[in-house]
């Protein structure tokens, strides 16, 4: 399920902003505020994936994507192995979780990466899926998602 690599509802920066807004103590109505901002590194990655997808096709680039995501996930497992509570840095959601949850969710959902080889990240992903703010911020629930029926 590669989808369009430039669809805004899949931009991880937008996912992060939705999460941050969800955890704020005051209400913000984002029904009409589409998040078109992305970081330069996301633009580079999106550009590479788009280029590779056009040149080789999704079936051929998926192993490349899984390889690089897998390397990053190995590094995350090693980085977090000694200081993980219920969430990445303790028993409450902190900024690290707001950055990590979209990475894990997007790559496992969009690129069908198997988390069995990453038990710590798998456990974190399960913990994030139990939090309503994370559930409400997923790309499938965003207004610019073509299947949401609200765009």
Report the pLDDT value the prediction gives residue 151, as an integer from 0 to 100: 44
Q: Which residue has the higher pLDDT, 33 or 15?
A: 15
- Rounded-to-10 torsion of CA 40, 46, 47, 49: 150
Is 134 a domain residue? yes
Count the domains in the chain. Answer: 1
Residue 1 lies in a domain: no
* Structural domain contains residue 2: no
Average pLDDT, the chain: 76
H/E stretch holding 141 reads: none
- List alpha helices for 1-151, DSSP H: 12-23, 40-56, 58-80, 95-110, 119-129, 132-137
Instruction: Answer whether residue 3 is part of any domain.
Output: no
Domain containing residue 21: CATH number: 1.20.1050.10
- Say what the pLDDT of residue 4 is: 40
Domain limits for position 22: 8-148
Instruction: Indicate the pTM of the whole model.
Output: 0.71
* Residue 52 predicted with pLDDT over 60: yes
> Is 64 within the bounds of a domain?
yes
């Amino acid at each position: 399920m590669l989808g369009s690599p430039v669809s805004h509802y899949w931009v991880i920066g937008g996912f992060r902003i939705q999460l941050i807004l969800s955890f704020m103590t005051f209400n913000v109505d984002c029904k009409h505020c589409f998040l078109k901002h992305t970081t330069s590194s996301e633009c580079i990655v999106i550009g590479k994936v788009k280029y590779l997808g056009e040149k080789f096709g999704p079936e051929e680039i998926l192993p490349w994507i899984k390889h690089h995501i897998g390397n990053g996930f190995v590094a995350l497992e090693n980085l977090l192995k000694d200081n993980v509570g219920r969430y990445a840095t303790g028993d409450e959601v902190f900024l690290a979780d707001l950055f990590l949850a979209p990475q894990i969710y997007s790559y496992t959902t969009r690129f069908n990466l198997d988390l069995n080889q990453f038990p710590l990240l798998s456990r974190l992903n399960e913990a994030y899926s139990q939090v309503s703010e994370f559930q409400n911020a997923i790309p499938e629930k965003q207004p610019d998602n073509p299947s949401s029926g609200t765009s």
